[in-house]
Structure 1
Amino acid sequence: MGRRGPLGRSGRGVAVLLAGALAMAGTACTSQRTGRTGGAGPDGRVRIGLVTKTDSNPFFVALREAAKARAAQDGAELVALAGKFDGDNDGQVAALENLVQQGVNAILVTPSNSTGILGAIRHARDRGILVVALDTETQPKDAVDATFATDNVEAGRAQGRYVRAALAGREPRLLMLDGTPGGTVDEQRHRGFLDGVGLAEEDPRVLAKEPTNGDQNKAQQAMENLLQRAGDVNAVYTLNEPAARGAHAALQARGLAAQAVIGSIDGGCQGVRDVKEGKYAVTVMQFPKKMAEEGVRAAVEFARTGRKPSGFVNTGSTVVTDRPVPGVDSEDTAWGLRNCWG
C-alpha cells in the first residue's frame, strides 16, 4: 500500500549494472524476509522507528523519552513520529510508511486504530522490518511480531473491584466516562471495570455512559451533562486521569464530589498527586517506560541477531490509593510518587 522503495532509482545505469544491482537488492530483500539477520545499517548502527498516538500526552512523552534513553544506551538511533491527535489513524499510517522509506530495522507503534493500521504494518513486515506494538494491541493480535503493554482488561478490573469495595455495601449508581468509541484500550478497560464492579453492560445501575476521548475538558462537559439526569451518582469510571480530573471538576461544581467514588487508570505523577489530594480515590498505575525499554531491547536484538520477540508481554499495573480497601492489593501515593511517570 506504500510507495516503492529505493530500487526505482537505479534506472539510469547501464543494463549490466542494472541487472547486478537488482540481483543484489533481491538477495538483500530475501535475507530480510527470511529473518536470518536483522540487517543493521552499513555503519553497524541500528535504526528504530517509534510511532505514538500523539506527541503531547504525558504517557506517550514518557514512553518516547524512555525509548530514546534506552536506544542511546544500546548504541541505536531512534526516529520518533506521532499522530496529530488520539485517533489519527491516517497520520500513523503515513508515519509507518515514512519509516519504511527510511530503512529502519524495527518499528514500535502504539496503534490509535487497531485495525486501520494493519495494511501499513503488513507492508513494513513484508520488507523485513520487525513491528512491535506498545500499549495497544492490534486486531488480530498476530498482525505484529509482539506486543508489550498493560493488560488493560485487568487494569480496568482492578479499578472496578476497588470502586465496588469502596462503596462499602452501597449499591452502585454508576456513570462511565469512556475514551474513543471503537478504541481497543477503551473497550478493554470498560469491559474490565464492569467485570470488577460486578455489573452487566445493560444493568440499570449503570446510569449512563459518555465518550470523552480521554480529554479533561470533554470529560468535564460530559459529566456536567450526565449529572443533569443522574445527580444521585455514587460511582464513576474514568478511562484515564485527565477524564478523572474532568469528572471531579464537574462533581465539585455541583457540590457532589464527596458522594462519589471516582476511579481511574494511568499512574502519571499528576494523577498520583490528584489521588493524594483526594480528587479521586484510586488510580491504576501502568508502566510506559517498561514498555518502551522492552520494545527497544527487542528491536536491537532483532537487528543484531535476527531473533524476534513474540506474543503478548504484560508490563504490569498497580493500584495506587491512600484509602486501601479489603480484598484489593494496593500501594500508597508515597510509593506512587516514587514510581510514577510524566
Structure 2
Amino acid sequence: MTHAPWTRRALAAAAGTGLALSLAACSDAGAEDGEVLVGLITKTETNPFFVKMKEGAEEAADEHGVTLQSFSGDYDGDNESQVQAVENLIAAGADGILITPNDSEAIVPALDQARAAGIMVIALDTPTEPQDAVDATFATDNFLAGEYIGQWAAAHFEAEGVDPRVAMLDLNPNQIAVDVARDQGFLQGLGVDIADPGQIGDEDDDRIVGHDVTEGAEEGGRTAMENLLQRDPDINLVYTINEPAAAGAYEALNAAGVAEDVVIVSVDGGCPGVENVGSGILGATSMQFPLDMAAQGVDAVVEYAASGETPEPTEGLDFVNTGVELITDQPMDGVESQDSAWGLDNCWG
C-alpha cells in the first residue's frame, strides 16, 4: 500500500499514538515540518558492513539536504530493538524506512504498520519474508556473486589441469535466502548440477566433499574446515559464505600444513578480504557495495517524498540489484574481474 506524500504525516500521527518512544537513535536529529525524514535501521552498529551502510546513508542524506535518523539492533538477531525503531519512526512521521531485518518474518507486522501510515519501506541486503512486505528490496545479486567465484574457480582448475575437491562452508542450518543463493550460484558457476534448487546439499557430484556451517564467523569457519578436512584431506577448493568464514578456514588449512595447496573463494569484498586476495590467502572474492546500497535507498525515499513513486526492480529480478564485482589477482580468460588494487580503492562502495 502506498499513499500520496501529503497524507503521510497525518497518517503517521494517527498510527504513532501510544507507541513507545524510548529507543535512542544513533542520530538524534529530528526533521522540521516539511523536511524529508529518512530512517535507517541496521542489524547491528558494530559490523563493518553496516558501518559502511550507515556511512552511505549519511553521505546521501547530506547531499539531498534531508534528515537521517539511524538505529540498530543490539546484536545480530535482535528483532525487538528493530520493532521499537520502526515504531519511533512512525511516530516521527518518517517519509521512508531503510532496514536490514534481523528477523525477516517477525519484523513484518511492524513494517505493515509503517506502510499503513504512508511510509515507504525498503529492505536493504536482507529480504523480508514475504518479500512483498516492503515496497522494494535493494540488495546484492547473491546468486550472481556466487556464480562469479564459481566461474573463476572452474577456469582456474581447468587451467591447472586439476579436478577440484570442494568443501562448502555455508552459513547455518536454517538455509536463509542469501545462503542458498550464494551456495547454488557458486555450484552453477563451477558446473555442478543441482537436483533441487533452494535446498543446500542436494547435489550429486563427486567433486563436492561436503557442506558444513560457520555462522558467518571466523571461529565457525575454522571448525567447519577442520571437520571437512577430516572427511577428506585432499580438499583443494574451499567455498565460503563470507570472508570472516574464509579467514577461519585459512587458519585451519594453515595449521594442517596444506594452505598453499588449497584455493579459497568467498563473497563480501570488504577491505580485509581484498587484502587477503592481494596476499594470496583468497583466490577470488565477489564484492558487494553496502555504501551504494544505502545511498540508493536514501535517493529512493527522496523521490518518494517528492512524487509518491516507489522503485522498480532490476529487469529480470524481483529486487533492485546494487552491484557485484569479482576481485582477483589471477584473472581468467572469459571471466570479467578487477584486481585487488581496484578492490582496495572501492571496497564496499
Q: What TM bracket, shorter-length normalisation?
A: 0.7 to 0.9
Corresponding residue number in structure 1 for 2:268: 266
2:98 aligned to which of 108, 114, 132: 108
The 8 Å contact of residues 214 and 242 in structure 1, kept in 2 or not, is answered as yes
State the alpha-carbon separation in 2 of the partners of residues 302 and 226 from structure 1. 49
Instruction: Return the offset for 1:257.
Output: 0.9
Corresponding residue number in structure 2 for 1:303: 305
Corresponding residue number in structure 1 for 2:4: 35
Uncovered stretches (5+) of structure 2, i.e. residues with no partner: 10-30, 195-201, 314-318
Provide the aligned length of Structure 1 versus Structure 2: 311
Report the identity percentage.
49
Corresponding residue number in structure 2 for 1:333: 340
When residues 126 and 241 of structure 1 are mapped into structure 2, their CA distance, relative to the original with a 3 A threshold, is same
Trace 1:7-18 onto structure 2 (pairs within 5 A).
none
Corresponding residue number in structure 2 for 1:173: 165
Trace 1:1-342 onto structure 2 (pairs within 5 A).
34-37=3-6, 39=8, 43-168=33-158, 169-180=161-172, 181-199=174-192, 200=194, 201-203=202-204, 204-311=206-313, 312-341=319-348
State the alpha-carbon separation in 2 of the partners of residues 191 and 87 from structure 1. 24
Instruction: Return the offset for 1:33.
Output: 5.4
SS of the residue corresponding to residue 177 of structure 1 reads strand
Larger radius of gyration between Structure 1 and Structure 2 = 1
The 8 Å contact of residues 278 and 329 in structure 2, kept in 1 or not, is answered as yes
State the alpha-carbon separation in 2 of the partners of residues 255 and 63 from structure 1. 38
Moved more, 117-126 or 85-94: 85-94
Instruction: Return the offset for 1:182.
Output: 3.2
SS of the residue corresponding to residue 172 of structure 1 reads coil
State the alpha-carbon separation in 2 of the partners of residues 90 and 108 from structure 1. 16
Moved more, 272-281 or 323-332: 323-332
State the alpha-carbon separation in 1 of the partners of residues 176 and 73 from structure 2. 15
Moved more, 32-41 or 69-78: 32-41
State the alpha-carbon separation in 2 of the partners of residues 34 and 84 from structure 1. 32
State the alpha-carbon separation in 1 of the partners of residues 77 and 232 from structure 2. 29
State the alpha-carbon separation in 2 of the partners of residues 215 and 252 from structure 1. 17
Deviations 1:271-314 (A, max 9, x none): 11110001110011111111111100111121233222233211
Matched residue type, 1:122: D
State the alpha-carbon separation in 2 of the partners of residues 146 and 265 from structure 1. 23
Deviations 1:303-326 (A, max 9, x none): 233222233211111111001112
SS of the residue corresponding to residue 231 of structure 2 reads coil
State the alpha-carbon separation in 2 of the partners of residues 91 and 223 from structure 1. 34
When residues 104 and 254 of structure 1 are mapped into structure 2, their CA distance, relative to the original with a 3 A threshold, is same
Corresponding residue number in structure 2 for 1:8: none
When residues 263 and 69 of structure 1 are mapped into structure 2, their CA distance, relative to the original with a 3 A threshold, is same
When residues 229 and 92 of structure 1 are mapped into structure 2, their CA distance, relative to the original with a 3 A threshold, is same
The 8 Å contact of residues 38 and 105 in structure 1, kept in 2 or not, is answered as no
SS of the residue corresponding to residue 265 of structure 1 reads strand
The 8 Å contact of residues 8 and 117 in structure 2, kept in 1 or not, is answered as no
SS of the residue corresponding to residue 336 of structure 1 reads helix
Instruction: Return the offset for 1:92.
Output: 2.8
Deviations 1:163-195 (A, max 9, x none): 122222432211111124332211211121111
The 8 Å contact of residues 5 and 306 in structure 2, kept in 1 or not, is answered as no
The 8 Å contact of residues 38 and 302 in structure 1, kept in 2 or not, is answered as no
SS of the residue corresponding to residue 287 of structure 2 reads strand
SS of the residue corresponding to residue 103 of structure 2 reads coil
Moved more, 65-74 or 97-106: 97-106
SS of the residue corresponding to residue 222 of structure 1 reads helix
Q: Give the structure-2-normalised TM-score.
A: 0.83
State the alpha-carbon separation in 1 of the partners of residues 54 and 170 from structure 2. 25
State the alpha-carbon separation in 1 of the partners of residues 127 and 243 from structure 2. 21
Matched residue type, 2:171: G
State the alpha-carbon separation in 2 of the partners of residues 111 and 139 from structure 1. 10
Runs of 4+ in structure 1 deviating by more than 4 angstroms, as ranges, are 38-42
Instruction: Return the offset for 1:42.
Output: 5.3
State the alpha-carbon separation in 1 of the partners of residues 90 and 221 from structure 2. 37
Uncovered stretches (5+) of structure 1, i.e. residues with no partner: 1-31
State the alpha-carbon separation in 2 of the partners of residues 263 and 98 from structure 1. 41
Matched residue type, 2:326: V
The 8 Å contact of residues 39 and 304 in structure 1, kept in 2 or not, is answered as no
SS of the residue corresponding to residue 258 of structure 1 reads helix
SS of the residue corresponding to residue 34 of structure 1 reads coil
State the alpha-carbon separation in 2 of the partners of residues 192 and 50 from structure 1. 29
Deviations 1:75-100 (A, max 9, x none): 11111112233333344333323322
SS of the residue corresponding to residue 143 of structure 2 reads helix
When residues 190 and 84 of structure 1 are mapped into structure 2, their CA distance, relative to the original with a 3 A threshold, is farther
